[in-house]
Amino acid sequence: MKLSLNRLFEEAYEASSELQKKLASIYPIEFNVHFSSLSVMSIRLTKTEQILASEALSHPQFSLSLDSATMLYALRHQNIPAHAFEGDSELALMFFLAIKESNVDLEVLIYKHLGTIPALIIRSFATNTIKSHLSQDGYSRAHQLQAALRAMAIRVDRLEQVTTS
């Protein structure tokens, strides 16, 4: 099954003309994407056509393998780890940097052109990642505050002992 991504990219190009210029300089791009629990998909991008296919390419320029841990890392740090790439990593880096620097809201584009389920999956990954990150930060800040209050209480107790004796 093949799905045209032409409208999605047209809208992204309208939002960011720099994205179109950067991608045009590295076209054609052909790569496979493997999500841990799904079959391999392929993406073919040229100046005239952008296609998402349900079958893998036999000779992709690069491949991207994503499991849940890699996805969470990518969403948290806005960076895909090098071990997730196989093949022409320089082309992959140029492609993903062009997308990252475009400041296009990918979630909205995915919702409009691919539907609610892919957008909800991305939203839930991002929300869970942000919540876990904030709760870890909040816990460490609360822990630091408690330690500082304990230290001050000890100093006050010592000061009371010195003044009463």
- What lies within 8 Å, CB to CB, of 3 at 6+ separation is 51, 52, 53, 114
What pLDDT does residue 44 have? 94
pLDDT digits (tens, 9 = 90+) for 97-110: 888 888 776 666 67
Query: How far apart are alpha carbons 158 and 139 in whole angstroms?
Result: 29
Rounded to an integer, the average pLDDT of 20-37 is 88
Domain chopping of the chain, boundaries = 2-114
DSSP 8-state code for residue 16: -
Query: How far apart are alpha carbons 123 and 62 in whole angstroms?
Result: 26
Query: How far apart are alpha carbons 103 and 82 in whole angstroms?
Result: 22
The answer on pLDDT for 30 being more than 60 is yes
Rounded to an integer, the average pLDDT of 108-117 is 70
Helix, strand and coil content of the chain, in percent to the nearest 5, comes to: 60, 15, 20
The lowest-confidence range among 26-40, 72-86, 126-140, 146-160 is 126-140
pLDDT band at 29 (very low <50, low <70, confident <90, very high): very high
pLDDT band at 145 (very low <50, low <70, confident <90, very high): confident
pTM: 0.61
Query: How far apart are alpha carbons 104 and 37 in whole angstroms?
Result: 27
Mention the CATH class of domain 2-114.
alpha beta
**Under 8 Å between Cβ of 87 and 65:** no
Amino acid at 80: I
Amino acid at 120: L
Tokens of 24: 């045009």
DSSP string, 79-105: ---GGGEEE-HHHHHHHHHHHHHTT--
- What lies within 8 Å, CB to CB, of 59 at 6+ separation is 30
